[in-house]
Amino acid sequence: MFNKITIIGCGLIGSSLLRAIDKKKLSKEINVFDKSKEASEFVKKNLSAKVFNNVAESVLGSDLVIISSPLSSYKEILLSIKSNLKKDVILTDTGSAKKEINKIISNLNLDNVHWISSHPIAGTEFSGPESGFAELLKDRWCILSTENQKETQQLSLLKKFWEALGSKVKFMSFEDHDYVLSLTSHLPHAIAYSIIRTVTKNDDKFKDEIIQYSASGLRDFTRIAASDPIMWRDIFIDNSENILKVLDSFSESLEEIKKAIKSKNSDKLNSIFSSTRKLRKEIIKAGQETDKPNFGRK
Amino acid sequence: MFNKITIIGCGLIGSSLLRAIDKKKLSKEINVFDKSKEASEFVKKNLSAKVFNNVAESVLGSDLVIISSPLSSYKEILLSIKSNLKKDVILTDTGSAKKEINKIISNLNLDNVHWISSHPIAGTEFSGPESGFAELLKDRWCILSTENQKETQQLSLLKKFWEALGSKVKFMSFEDHDYVLSLTSHLPHAIAYSIIRTVTKNDDKFKDEIIQYSASGLRDFTRIAASDPIMWRDIFIDNSENILKVLDSFSESLEEIKKAIKSKNSDKLNSIFSSTRKLRKEIIKAGQETDKPNFGRK
């Protein structure tokens, strides 16, 4: 499918891409750059790719360049690689917020570069190249966004690439992407971090009990709150406008529940708690969640 | 261990108890009452117990009576059974809030009844007798509380009973129980309901997208928000004092995160997000959570 692919940033997502590209033989060569020496060493020892110490050199001759590093690193990376990009290269990424990044890239006025952003909706609470696996992207959605939203040869090639990795592809504007993800991803993460913070700041006296009785609900939230801090810091800063808006909306919902608790309004509580059951059923039906009790935990 | 056990309310927990008692042969006879005809029919057809249509009759001659129905049903049940309870019966329950229930029972001035509350910290997002299974209580904690906290023959018998079901037993005061559980269980549930409400009220335009991209975080919260509405309505009303207090504390944590997002304070966000990773590791180490990525979901 490609002669040479460069992956910049080889963490959970980058290394999963690398493994899947290798397994499905989607490129004759794969170049990798990661600023962490430890990650680079891991890739050299365990995965099939040419590892570079210099990001500018890593993109030479590549048909597809994938940035898979924290959002705050994009600008420096782009400034380093821009003069080395091959004519008609497809430049993409795997970031979780799009609008601000697109502004940065547009301002660079890259010539003969096809910038199409990707967001594979996949991940785990682990990070680093040792956590990746080839099947991470299988049956997951990948959202593609471009400035003009025209169907081009490059857009359809990138679509085929993600599909070859097992993903299902959707097109969305940068703005819609950032709004929808603020609801489905950024809001839950902000809330999970807030809950864990509430629980851990509150009580040294009951610390052991909190850990012991976490199976009563809390443990579900600790998974998301264990996600990569740097990645999430950048997402919250990049998509701050949407996130603050949905957090306000969340606070309103919470106030509504608080009010019903305060007034011991059992009808209201019952109606709120009954209405929320439906969404999970729809998510399971859409193949995005297991129907096993407790996520099928063992 | 017992000659006759009565289980009042045969949903997820009650039916799991029934299955486990039967499997481990902890009682010569098991009586069951459930006010739902459907549940009673299910038990008759699929499980080993004598099913009663009348709650008062179901407790006759029982050595251990376990109330496993929503908190709001306790008072009526207790008034119905009180004159039929055997001398020196152990009366327990499986409810998730204790202080108010204990008041109700104390006010009934039951003679020759050993009231010791139980709270098995176990469950799934499913309800009804068809969702129960004998291993639900295995390796989970069960909290016992009594008024005087004296070690009695009955207390040690009840402890042995839960241990025979595979649970680990702890003693706590009613007050401490309700406070700790407000953090580990009631807070996460209130928040999960609020999140799902925020997401579903917000947008019909993006409804399909929200379901499709739920793997980016949201789906984790839908599990808890799919829990039994009646049970949770009762918990929030019974333990309202503690819950409102921890919800206020949660709102403070959330405001702290909001402020850091607003001011794009990346150091602060990084420090918040780094500190929350630790708790999950401790929960996994304590055997209360799987260490598999994504809860080991398939």
Hey, where are the domains in chain A? 2-172, 176-264
CA B33 to chain centre: 19
| Distance separating alpha carbons of residues A234 and A96, to the nearest angstrom | 9
Encoded amino acid at B132, one letter: G
Closest CA to B144 of B173, B164, B122: B173
pLDDT at B205: 86
pLDDT at B297: 87
Encoded amino acid at A163, one letter: E
Say yes or no: B79 contacts chain A, CB-CB below 8 A: no
DSSP-assigned letter for residue B225: T
* Contact residues on chain B for A126, CB-CB shorter than 8 A: 293
Q: Which of B180, B206, B237 sits opposite A206 (nearest CB)?
A: B180
pLDDT bracket for residue A79 (50, 70, 90): very high
Q: DSSP labels for chain A? A: -EEEEEEE--SHHHHHHHHHHHHHT-EEEEEEE-S-HHHHHHHHHHSSSEEES-HHHHTTT-SEEEE-S-GGGHHHHHHHHGGGPPTTEEEEE--S--HHHHHHHHHTT-TTEEE-EEEE----S--SGGG--GGGGTT-EEEEE-SS----HHHHHHHHHHHHTT-EEEE--HHHHHHHHIIIIIHHHHHHHHHHHHHHHH-STTHHHHHHGGGGTHHHHHHHTTS-HHHHHHHHHHTHHHHHHHHHHHHHHHHHHHHHHHTT-HHHHHHHHHHTHHHHHHHHHTTSS--SGGGG--
The nearest alpha carbon in chain B to A207 belongs to B180
pLDDT at B203: 66
Closest CA to A298 of B24, B287, B119, B279: B287
Average pLDDT, chain A: 95
The verdict on a CB contact (< 8 Å) between B223 and A276 is: no
User: In this model, does residue B202 exceed pLDDT 80?
Assistant: no
Strand partners for B67? B8, B93
The verdict on a CB contact (< 8 Å) between A289 and B297 is: yes
* Contact residues on chain B for A262, CB-CB shorter than 8 A: 240, 244
Distances (CA, A) of B287 to A115, A179, A195, B294: 46, 38, 21, 16
Distances (CA, A) of B216 to A124, A181, B103, B220: 9, 8, 44, 9
| A vs B: CB pairs below 8 A | 374
Beta strands in chain B (DSSP E): 2-8, 27-33, 50-52, 64-67, 89-93, 113-115, 117-120, 141-145, 168-171
Distances (CA, A) of A277 to B13, B194, B219, B226: 19, 12, 12, 4
CATH 3.40.50.720 fits A2-172, yes or no: yes
How near does any CA of chain A get to the CA of B245, in Å? 10
Contact A101, A239 (CB under 8 A): no
Say yes or no: B246 contacts chain A, CB-CB below 8 A: yes
Contact B92, B117 (CB under 8 A): yes
Say yes or no: A76 contacts chain B, CB-CB below 8 A: no
Read off the pLDDT of residues B214-261 as tens digits, 9 standing for 90 and up.
989 999 999 999 999 999 999 999 999 999 999 999 999 999 999 999
* Contact residues on chain A for B206, CB-CB shorter than 8 A: 176, 179-180, 183
The verdict on a CB contact (< 8 Å) between B196 and A276 is: yes
Say yes or no: A263 contacts chain B, CB-CB below 8 A: no
Read off the pLDDT of residues B103-159 as tens digits, 9 standing for 90 and up.
999 999 998 999 999 999 999 999 999 999 999 999 999 999 998 777 799 999 999
User: In this model, does residue A150 exceed pLDDT 80?
Assistant: no
The nearest alpha carbon in chain A to B169 belongs to A212
| Distance separating alpha carbons of residues A136 and A277, to the nearest angstrom | 27
* Contact residues on chain B for A70, CB-CB shorter than 8 A: none
pLDDT at B257: 95
* Contact residues on chain B for A259, CB-CB shorter than 8 A: none
Read off the pLDDT of residues A164-186 as tens digits, 9 standing for 90 and up.
999 999 999 999 999 999 999 99
Contact residues for B58 (Cβ-Cβ < 8 A; gap 6+):
B6, B8, B31, B32, B33, B52, B81
Mutate to test the interface with B, among A183, A208, A257 (most CBs of B within 10 A): A183
| Distance separating alpha carbons of residues B70 and B78, to the nearest angstrom | 13
Task: Return the structure tokens found at A28.
Answer: 């004759």
Q: Which of B122, B183, B269 sits opposite A202 (nearest CB)?
A: B183
Q: What's the mean pLDDT in A128-152?
A: 92
* Contact residues on chain A for B227, CB-CB shorter than 8 A: 273
* Contact residues on chain B for A272, CB-CB shorter than 8 A: 193, 197
Task: Return the structure tokens found at A139.
Answer: 């049956």
The verdict on a CB contact (< 8 Å) between B275 and A200 is: yes
User: In this model, does residue B290 exceed pLDDT 80?
Assistant: yes
pLDDT bracket for residue A129 (50, 70, 90): very high
Contact residues for B196 (Cβ-Cβ < 8 A; gap 6+):
A276, A279, B221, B222, B225
pLDDT bracket for residue A103 (50, 70, 90): very high
Contact residues for B280 (Cβ-Cβ < 8 A; gap 6+):
A125, A219, A222, A223, A225, A226, B289
Task: Return the structure tokens found at A157.
Answer: 């090639």
**What is the CATH number assigned to the segment(s) B176-296?**
1.10.3660.10
Write down the residue that tokens 């925020």 correspond to.
Answer: B198
Q: What's the mean pLDDT in B39-66?
A: 98
Contact A267, A210 (CB under 8 A): no
Say yes or no: B294 contacts chain A, CB-CB below 8 A: yes
User: In this model, does residue A149 exceed pLDDT 80?
Assistant: no
pLDDT bracket for residue B19 (50, 70, 90): very high
pLDDT at B24: 97
Say yes or no: A36 contacts chain B, CB-CB below 8 A: no
Distances (CA, A) of A243 to A71, A120, A180, B161: 16, 20, 10, 49
**What is the CATH number assigned to the segment(s) A176-264?**
1.10.3660.10
How near does any CA of chain A get to the CA of B168, in Å? 10
pLDDT bracket for residue A203 (50, 70, 90): low
- In the stretch 198-227 of chain B, residues with CB closer than 8 A to chain A read 198-203, 206, 209-227
pLDDT at A22: 98
Read off the pLDDT of residues B74-85 as tens digits, 9 standing for 90 and up.
999 999 999 999
The nearest alpha carbon in chain A to B133 belongs to A293
pLDDT bracket for residue A151 (50, 70, 90): confident
Read off the pLDDT of residues B108-123 as tens digits, 9 standing for 90 and up.
999 899 999 999 999 9
Distances (CA, A) of B88 to A120, B29, B79, B163: 62, 18, 18, 21
The nearest alpha carbon in chain A to B296 belongs to A297
* Contact residues on chain A for B214, CB-CB shorter than 8 A: 184, 283, 286, 288-289
Distances (CA, A) of B256 to A165, A198, A224, B102, B186: 40, 11, 19, 37, 22
